[in-house]
A = this chain, B = another copy of it.
């Protein structure tokens, strides 16, 4: 790469710089983020290419554009950094990144075999394999309809799944619209907000989502589910679906899918498993038991862009009966899905809502064939091992850290306890003033961490009191990184409380 050599095309300069970043991502004491307030960021870019778009945009010289690219890299969040423990994705798999690149280079739409011959077959093969991994009975004939589709994210997949559920309940919803029944669905109060967002968009309304109590770990209380379904029926409402969560956002808890499936079968309800986060546990022989019963679900969403490190977006919606897709989504546009076209029976476009659709499958196919099943299992086992290590650090901290929520998967929810409050049995034991202090600590500590760019981890209120959430996603996280993050929290905590 050369910034001064005018003969190097700008495309190559940008690509080379991006590749350099992928091959040698920030690590160790490199900043996780060079965080700046919005106004400061705008000012920094003004020296290269202004972020704001002028009323008349003039072409920027290549050198200015490359300076802007450097600023983009410098000030963006380094999700590949092993101390980015902030979200339920991190550490993009480099093979996935360049697989994504290859797909973008070939820029096409996944809607038809004609426009995407290779990608259609790859997508079908992946959906069938994912379906088999989930335990669905899959027709492996190459020409058989695959048991699902790729979606632009887990929320969209949830939306489609709930429409499929509604469609089974009321087959003419597609043509004539929602009927008079007051449909309701159930999800635990630790489940993802995609359920309520979907209910709003589907016209059911957020009130149609009945939040079922979860136990302290975040798993659904299935007795409460039974009671909620019966209570709803008694009120004249019409239950139609249950969402079981496999890997909740905050505590990575798993609902007992078999128990939920029993209740769904007893009441004739559609069972959707939200495995956006935790579905990938299926790759690990030692972790897949957490999803026992998923093969009984009617639909199952599984984000490969979370635990597996595929780039945004790689979200598979699996369905037990692939023949339900077309009746729910097809329109048969005659300019696109012409019956007299070669191999039109392979077209996927009429089995989903989207028309043009980014190819999300190629990167997964390349990464999976590169790592093999064993490599995919390793990634999951490593994530859990790192979380186990974090739990060890907490246990051995002499009361400086306390685990706030029990858990044995990839999320660790904990608090840092100021010296004068140790030993702290539980957050509930605190009086109001100590609780208020504890509530303010995580945001204050995080602000320091973010300002210095030393690490990133999340926080959220549990029972009204902010607590940290450390998520081990990246295959590059090592015990050293975990140790370093706890040391940082300890230091920042001490500084914050001594102010």
Contact = CB atoms under 8 A, between A and B. Distances in A.
A52 B129 CA distance: 8
Interface stretch (A58-66, A290-298, A382-390, A396-404): A58-66
A95 to B, nearest CB: 6
A117 to B, nearest CB: 6
A99 B107 CA distance: 13
A19 to B, nearest CB: 5
A154 B202 CA distance: 18
Contact of A142 (B22, B42, B115): B42
Interface string A184-220: 0000000011101101111111111000000000000
Given A11-B98, A21-B105, A106-B77, A113 B38 contact: yes
Contacts of A461: 334, 338
Interface stretch (A260-268, A367-375, A481-489): A367-375
A221 interface: no
A406 interface: no
A104 interface: yes
A168 interface: no
A112 to B, nearest CB: 9
A142 to B, nearest CB: 6
Interface in A240-290: 249-250
A125 B68 CA distance: 15
A103 B29 CA distance: 23
B77 A153 contact: no
A114 interface: yes
A15 interface: yes
A79 B358 CA distance: 13
Contacts of A329: 197, 200
A429 interface: no
A193 B333 contact: yes
A346 interface: yes
Given A59-B371, A118-B71, A153-B357, A202 B205 contact: no
Contacts of A174: 200, 205-206
A86 B114 CA distance: 10
A142 B355 contact: no
Interface string A359-377: 1001001101111111100
20 contacts: A11-B22, A11-B94, A11-B95, A14-B101, A15-B101, A38-B117, A38-B143, A39-B142, A49-B369, A53-B128, A57-B372, A65-B370, A69-B366, A76-B116, A79-B107, A109-B312, A159-B353, A175-B206, A178-B203, A313-B358
Contacts of A153: 152, 354-358
A173 interface: yes
For the complex of A and B, the 3 pairs showing the least CB-CB separation, nearest first, are A177-B205, A203-B203, A152-B152
Given A153-B358, A249-B335, 12 more contacts: A11-B97, A38-B121, A53-B126, A89-B109, A152-B313, A154-B355, A156-B353, A163-B201, A172-B205, A176-B205, A177-B207, A334-B460
B104 A97 contact: yes
Contact of A15 (B10, B22, B116): B22
